[in-house]
Structure 1
Amino acid sequence: MKKLLLLLLVTSSAMANNTNDPVNQAVAFNKWYVNQINNNNFPITDGKDIDKYVTASTMQKLRRTQDPNYDDVVFYSSDFFLKSQYIGDDWTENVAISSYDWDPVCVNVNITFGKKNPHTVIDCMVNENGEWKVQSVAARDNN
């Protein structure tokens, strides 16, 4: 009985820590991120909270683009994580997994924002130091 109780305690603790689950971590990140942007915060340059959700190498590249001396010709016309130039009025309340797929490179999590006009992106989640983080994002919709 004690072993069963201990097993239940360990299992529930692991389930509460979503950083060990790439799908739940992707949802947690996107809910947090869309709310940040909706509140006129820019997580890439405003603090380090985003670092718990996004790989160090990706953040290094994104922060470099904010440098006034950045001279690379690549410039994104939409938000890197949302793959959109706007946020739908129902996105903050509606962030959901539409599907996911594992491959040798990453766990591809399809995240859908909104219900009125759904918008879906694909987060490539990788394990970095024992925590699942976003490495890159691809647009799935042609908006």
Structure 2
Amino acid sequence: MAWNKSQAVSSARMRAYAESQKRCAHYVPLCCSLAFCFMTFSISTFSAEAPDPYRREPANPYGAPGKAALEFNRWYLQQYAENKNPLTHHEIERYVTADTLKKMRKLDARTEEYMRRTGDLPEFAYETDYFTKTQDISPDWPTHVSIVGADYDPACANVYVAFGKDKRFILADCMVEEQNVWKVQSVTQIEGGAWRY
């Protein structure tokens, strides 16, 4: 049964007493607007955050940036574990901003050119992996990635990603929106020291 606005207003007028001081005309539309806003908010909130009973994980409390960071790190660590170079896959473009990828690929090209000419690793080359801040990864990292926090500043959404069963190695992924998709812009190590497996 559809709600009939005219009937609701008519019913409110009929039931209004003299003491209402003719304020019904003011409050009825306001209450209707508030009810509509609450219903819209509830539907959007619960549809986005409601846990799926068939999933093995709880709903992500860190929103879209947290979900994107989790997906990226799981994918990236799996590539790393399989000795694949993620930078050569087009799939990385789903997870990392175009500007960051451009800079990384340019640096890789410079490094390869320098090594081809000299046979040595240049001083400007990374000593550790850019996205893990490590030289190697622990075998349990690809299957144990979790989001342990997030905060927001004017530059980005910082999503804190923990690796391993013990969650002692933590990075902050600076996530930004690029064409309505949350992507990694930069990575900072928070805890865990220099990891060398």
Higher helix residue share? 2
Correspondence for 1:25? 68
| 1:56 aligns with one of 88, 91, 98 | 98
TM-score by length of 2: 0.61
Where relative contact order (Cα < 8 A, 6+ residues apart) is larger, the structure is 1
Q: Which runs of 4+ in 1 moved over 2 A?
A: 11-16, 68-74
Q: Quick check: which has more Rg, 1 or 2? A: 2
Correspondence for 1:66? 108
Distance 1:61 1:70 in 2: 16
SS in 1 for 2:79: helix
Q: CA deviation at 1:117?
A: 6.6
Higher strand residue share? 1
Unmatched 5+ residue regions in structure 1? none
Q: CA deviation at 1:32?
A: 0.5
Instruction: Say if 1:121 and 1:137, in contact at 8 Å, map to a contact too.
Output: yes
Distance 1:49 1:131 in 2: 14
Distance 1:111 1:37 in 2: 17
Instruction: Using the aligned pairs only, state the percent identity.
Output: 38
Instruction: Say if 1:64 and 1:70, in contact at 8 Å, map to a contact too.
Output: no
1:129 aligns with 2:173: no
Distance 1:31 1:73 in 2: 30
TM-score by length of 1: 0.82
1:111 aligns with 2:161: yes
Distance change in 2, residues 1:116/1:43 (3 Å): same
Q: CA deviation at 1:70?
A: 6.2
Distance change in 2, residues 1:8/1:135 (3 Å): same
Distance 1:89 1:99 in 2: 23
Distance change in 2, residues 1:73/1:60 (3 Å): same
| 1:95 aligns with one of 135, 145, 156 | 145
Q: CA deviation at 1:118?
A: 2.7
Q: Map Cα deviations across residues 10-65 of structure 1 (whole Å, 9 max, x no partner).
A: x748989x9x81111000000000001001111112x2110000000000011112
